[in-house]
Copies of this chain bind each other. A is one copy, B any other.
Amino acid sequence: MTLSSTLQEKLKKINAEPGDTISITINDKTFTGLLMPHHQFSDPEIIIIKLDNGYNIGLRNTEQSTIELLTKRRKQGKKQQTIPFDKNKPTIDIIGTGGTIACYIDYRTGAVHPATSSEDLAFSVPEIFEICNVKTEVAYQLLSENIQPEHWQHLAEKVANALNNGAKGVVIPHGTDTMGYTAAALSFMLEDLSGPVILVGAQRSSDRPSSDAAQNLLDAVRLAAEGDIGEVVVLMHAESSDTKTAIHRGNCVRKVHTSRRDAFKSINTPPLGYIEKGKITWEKSYKKISKGPVSVDSAIETDVGLIYIYPGMKPEDIPDKKGLVLMGTGLGHTSSTILPRITELTKNGTTIVMTSQCIYGRVNMNVYSTGRDLLKAGVISAATMIPETAYVKLMWALAHGKTKEQIEILMTTYISNELPEKTK
């Protein structure tokens, strides 16, 4: 297909830039809105504008449906492109990592790719600048399924640097797939936090009418600028509607739905608090911010596995690693057919920690003979820790405990409020 005039040519002709208000006529219909930035992965013949009602629409320029463009109003000067600074307001850092919260649809494939600038992200929610000054930085541009343990370590350094260089708080936009793992890792790696560290994501990208990106980002920024919590937290929608966002302790939270906007739930504990119409309310006690400086202790052992237990599992399905977190059945069980393998591994120095595939509730290996046999084999109970947190903590503990006993003590005592005291 060759077009008599490509979209890019038309945009050039009217000298339109992202942020300009333009009118588009296509098939006798006219749409007016802000021209959205073009993304490297996007189809050059697709134009995206943000309508007054906040919805973004994408329109395709074809031979049959030719787009006509008209600049209505230029964006106001270059000033809007630089982040404003108000010396009476606190300054926070936004450290971008990618994910849906920073995503654009690629209209060629229909798939979503991470965007390239956390500055864009900040500008997409201009209400942020009423609260605070913003410094932005892009650490990665990754869908979170590609975030690896070395990224956690690098990110811990960046957070500490930001806080130690005067940031009031740090906001980390992150993909939701593994946001819980990253939050848990940062909670073990960072000490003496002098400001809130908030991971925030979106379940629906910002070009969808139902996007939760703007509200989550705005509330995360508010918490970073105004909060006195010295912990790593996850902030996401509390309900499927836009009523409020929830503040979850970073090592007690899990994504429990593939697509709902309130997919993140604190497990075995209520959320620490909520933000509703700009007001932060706390439901639980939390660690207050320290005077700093923030220190980083990010050593981890990566030879650790997270293994799901199931009927029909064979002894050789339990791999040979320095550490293993098992997701046992019920209160923390495995079939007795794989018990000899577990005994063999612990004898050879593998640290094995038991969690439950039930997700909710406390591991208790004292109730049934199966559990008692596992305890006898040296398996350590994760108590009320979720499997993801137990996995990250075991990586950390293996790098910090020198003896079997020290590792067990690290796994069973508080490092960073990761053990909810009561089950629901």
Q: How many copies does the complex hold?
A: 2
Distance from A282 Cβ to chain B, minimum over Cβ atoms (Å):
26
Distance from A226 Cβ to chain B, minimum over Cβ atoms (Å):
30
Of all chain B residues, which has the CB nearest A112? B368
Q: In the bound complex, do residue B330 and residue A176 qualify as a contact, i.e. CB atoms below 8 Å apart?
A: yes
| List of B residues within 8 angstroms of A331 by Cβ | 177, 258-259
CA distance A363 to B257 in the complex (A): 10
Interface check A25, CB cutoff 8 A: no
CA distance A260 to B334 in the complex (A): 20
Q: Write the A257-280 contact mask toward B (1 if CB under 8 angstroms, else 0).
A: 111100100000000000000000
| List of B residues within 8 angstroms of A256 by Cβ | 358-360
Of all chain B residues, which has the CB nearest A300? B312
Q: Among B149, B152, B306, point to the contact of A308 (Cβ < 8 A).
A: B306
Interface check A148, CB cutoff 8 A: yes
Interface check A146, CB cutoff 8 A: yes
CA distance A110 to B145 in the complex (A): 44
CA distance A333 to B100 in the complex (A): 14
Q: In the bound complex, do residue A370 and residue B146 qualify as a contact, i.e. CB atoms below 8 Å apart?
A: yes
Q: Among B110, B143, B319, point to the contact of A333 (Cβ < 8 A).
A: B143
CA distance A93 to B311 in the complex (A): 25
- 340-376 of chain A: CB within 8 A of chain B: 356, 358-364, 366-372
| List of B residues within 8 angstroms of A358 by Cβ | 255-258, 263
Q: In the bound complex, do residue A360 and residue B306 qualify as a contact, i.e. CB atoms below 8 Å apart?
A: no
CA distance A38 to B255 in the complex (A): 47
Of all chain B residues, which has the CB nearest A176? B330
Q: In the bound complex, do residue B148 and residue A370 qualify as a contact, i.e. CB atoms below 8 Å apart?
A: no
Tally A residues with Cβ within 8 Å of B: 71
Interface check A418, CB cutoff 8 A: no
Interface check A144, CB cutoff 8 A: yes
Q: Among B306, B312, B363, point to the contact of A148 (Cβ < 8 A).
A: B312
Q: Among B149, B306, B312, point to the contact of A304 (Cβ < 8 A).
A: B312
Q: In the bound complex, do residue B312 and residue A111 qualify as a contact, i.e. CB atoms below 8 Å apart?
A: no
Distance from A349 Cβ to chain B, minimum over Cβ atoms (Å):
19
Q: In the bound complex, do residue A311 and residue B181 qualify as a contact, i.e. CB atoms below 8 Å apart?
A: yes
Q: Among B113, B255, B312, point to the contact of A330 (Cβ < 8 A).
A: B255
Q: Among B147, B152, B260, B329, point to the contact of A145 (Cβ < 8 A).
A: B329
CA distance A358 to B260 in the complex (A): 11
Q: In the bound complex, do residue A369 and residue B109 qualify as a contact, i.e. CB atoms below 8 Å apart?
A: yes
Q: In the bound complex, do residue B112 and residue A335 qualify as a contact, i.e. CB atoms below 8 Å apart?
A: no
Q: In the bound complex, do residue A363 and residue B109 qualify as a contact, i.e. CB atoms below 8 Å apart?
A: no
- 245-262 of chain A: CB within 8 A of chain B: 255-260
- 305-335 of chain A: CB within 8 A of chain B: 305-308, 310-313, 317, 319, 327-335
Given contacts A149-B312, A372-B109, contact A333 B177 (CB under 8 A): yes
| List of B residues within 8 angstroms of A356 by Cβ | 258
Interface check A178, CB cutoff 8 A: yes
Enumerate 21 A-B pairs (CB-CB under 8 Å) in ascending A order: A109-B372, A111-B371, A113-B369, A145-B335, A145-B370, A146-B335, A146-B337, A177-B329, A182-B311, A257-B359, A257-B423, A258-B331, A258-B356, A258-B358, A258-B423, A259-B361, A305-B317, A306-B310, A308-B387, A310-B391, A317-B319
Ranked nearest first, the 6 interchain pairs of A and B with the lowest CB-CB distance are: A258-B361, A177-B330, A177-B329, A145-B333, A257-B360, A257-B361
- Which residues of A are at the interface with B, using a C-beta cutoff of 8 A? 106, 109-113, 143-149, 152, 175-178, 181-182, 255-260, 263, 302, 304-308, 310-313, 317, 319, 327-337, 356, 358-364, 366-372, 387-388, 391, 395, 423-424
